[in-house]
Amino acid sequence: MDQVDIAILGAGAAGLFCAGSAMTQGCRILVAEHSRKPGEKIRISGGGRCNFTNLATSWDRFLSQNQRFAASALARYCPEDFVELVDQAGIAWHEKTQGQLFCNGKATQIIDMLMYRMRGVELRLETAVEDVHRNADGFVVTTNGGQVRAKYVVVATGGKSIPKMGATGIGYAIARKFGLRIVEPRAGLVPLTFAEQDLALCRPLAGISLEAEICHGKARFRDALLFTHRGLSGPAILQISNYWQPGEVLEINLLPEIDISEALMMARKDAGRVAVATILSQWLPERLAQAIAAEQGLTDARLADQSNGVLQRLGRRINRWQLRPVGTEGYRTAEVTLGGVDTRELDARTMQVRDVPGLYFIGECVDVTGWLGGYNFQWAWASAEAAGQAL
Ligand code: FDA
């Protein structure tokens, strides 16, 4: 049976980073990955340009049953630390919007950088982890290629999102086997699905995008909203999907800068002869303006003929559109998995399981999930660094 000091399970963002952080002279590290290539999610991330961090990273931009858990690791490994690595590797980058940093070129540059950083570590591809158990000297990891003995095991097998990209959820099975509590996983940063009556409005508008504000409880995001054949998508919807639960209502403000009923009442004074849809298209994309006017029974209706009550109803429809999604597209398209290993089981400084010395969980398989925009990779780097330094 092979013997190593550290076995890292999964060669995704967290596993690759942890291997580089844990490397010391003479320490034998093995990274086991069941796919043919390492870092597949990094490769496709950020539309192929990898949104590798966010300058506005702070613990309150993460969801978890214990939100402050992430604060320690995030404070000790900051976006600027990762940017330093990117700069040292000569990778050109830019800030797109809201602190989101992307590569100018391909995301594979980040994978190459991580691979170079962990040179000397053995990466065993097409090696599926099947089980982990403890023995007197440490742990035994069972893979499809045989068993490996390890003094320390780091579980970095990610969540359940996008099984096609290699997600298996085995990290949860390993945690359960060691008696750890799991916060029920669910799809996050995922398009929502809608009932037929909402689709009837959205479908003909597919392709239209506008900046909107979307709210659910205290969560509020202003970002692009995209009409699609399947309903609504775009960053604003993905962000709110982390907070939405089945049966709940969302509120969308299609024109966050303008109180539309006020604006229509003002316009009625000077432009009463103009059609409602034409006035609305000053502020909204034309097809959307027409669709809303038609939905409200105001096709070809003149502004002058509308009572305050009608304009207030129209205003509510645009500034406070209430919508009840029927579900999400699920793990097939979700960018992340919410929930995971309950943080009460882990030491926030090291990511080690409190009651199982030598066993660590990092990255997405832990109950810490970031907003859209580079936060999830920053959690992968920071949690990996915390474990890597402790090993
Ligand atoms: P990750 O999923 O990266 O790695 C887990 C690894 O374990 C995988 O390589 C998997 O194959 C392997 N594995 C699983 N089961 C195994 C087993 N039984 N045996 C061996 N290996 C096994 N985030 C962000 O911050 N910026 C962005 O731009 C994007 N963009 C983005 C786009 C898309 C399409 C997706 C799906 C996701 C993103 N994300 C993102 C999220 C980001 O990809 C995610 O948060 C990190 O990859 C999580 O890193 P982990 O290493 O924890 O899991």
ipTM passes above 0.90? yes
Q: How far apart are CA 112 and CA 286, in angstroms?
A: 46
Q: Which residue has the tokens 């970095």?
A: 156
Question: Which residues lie below 8 Å from residue 372, measured CB to CB, with a gap of 6+?
Answer: 189, 235, 238, 239, 335
**What is the per-residue pLDDT for 308?**
96
**Ligand 1 pocket, residue 33 CB under 6 Å:** yes
Distance from Cα 165 to the centre of ligand 1, integer Å? 8
**What is the per-residue pLDDT for 271?**
87
Query: Which residue's C-alpha comes closest to atom 12 of ligand 1?
Result: 10
Query: Which residue's C-alpha comes closest to atom 36 of ligand 1?
Result: 335
Q: What is the tens place of the pLDDT at every residue in 142-172?
A: 999 999 999 999 999 999 999 998 899 999 9
Name the stretches of the chain with pLDDT < 50. Answer: none
**Ligand 1 pocket, residue 168 CB under 6 Å:** yes
Distance from Cα 13 to the centre of ligand 1, integer Å? 6
Q: Are 28 and 44 in contact (CB under 8 A)?
A: no
DSSP readout, 194-227?
Answer: --HHHHHHHGGGTT-EEEEEEEETTEEEEEEEEE
17-20: which pairs have CB atoms within 8 A and are 24 or more residues apart? 17/114, 17/117, 17/380, 17/381, 17/384, 17/385, 17/388, 18/154, 18/156, 18/362, 18/384, 18/385, 18/387, 18/388, 19/118, 19/121, 19/123, 19/388, 20/114, 20/117, 20/118, 20/121, 20/388
**What is the per-residue pLDDT for 231?**
86
Query: Which residue's C-alpha comes closest to atom 8 of ligand 1?
Result: 12
Select from 41, 82, 143 the residue to mutate for testing ligand 1; criterion: most ligand atoms less than 8 Å from CB: 41
Q: How far apart are CA 104 and CA 97, in angstroms?
A: 14
- Number of C-beta neighbours around residue 151 at 10 A: 16
Select from 8, 35, 45 the residue to mutate for testing ligand 1; criterion: most ligand atoms less than 8 Å from CB: 45
Q: What is the tens place of the pLDDT at every residue in 279-330?
A: 999 999 999 999 999 999 999 999 999 999 999 999 999 999 999 999 999 9
Backbone angles phi, psi at 244, to 5 degrees: -85, 140
**Ligand 1 pocket, residue 368 CB under 6 Å:** no
**Ligand 1 pocket, residue 374 CB under 6 Å:** yes
**What is the per-residue pLDDT for 94?**
98
Q: 225 pairs with which residues across the strands?
A: 210
Q: How far apart are the first and last CA of the chain?
A: 22
Query: Which residue's C-alpha comes closest to atom 3 of ligand 1?
Result: 12
Give the atom of ligand 1 at the shortest distance from the alpha carbon of 375.
25
Select from 100, 376, 379 the residue to mutate for testing ligand 1; criterion: most ligand atoms less than 8 Å from CB: 376
Distance from Cα 189 to the centre of ligand 1, integer Å? 13
**Ligand 1 pocket, residue 158 CB under 6 Å:** yes
**Ligand 1 pocket, residue 336 CB under 6 Å:** yes
Give the atom of ligand 1 at the shortest distance from the alpha carbon of 102.
28
Q: Are 52 and 103 in contact (CB under 8 A)?
A: yes
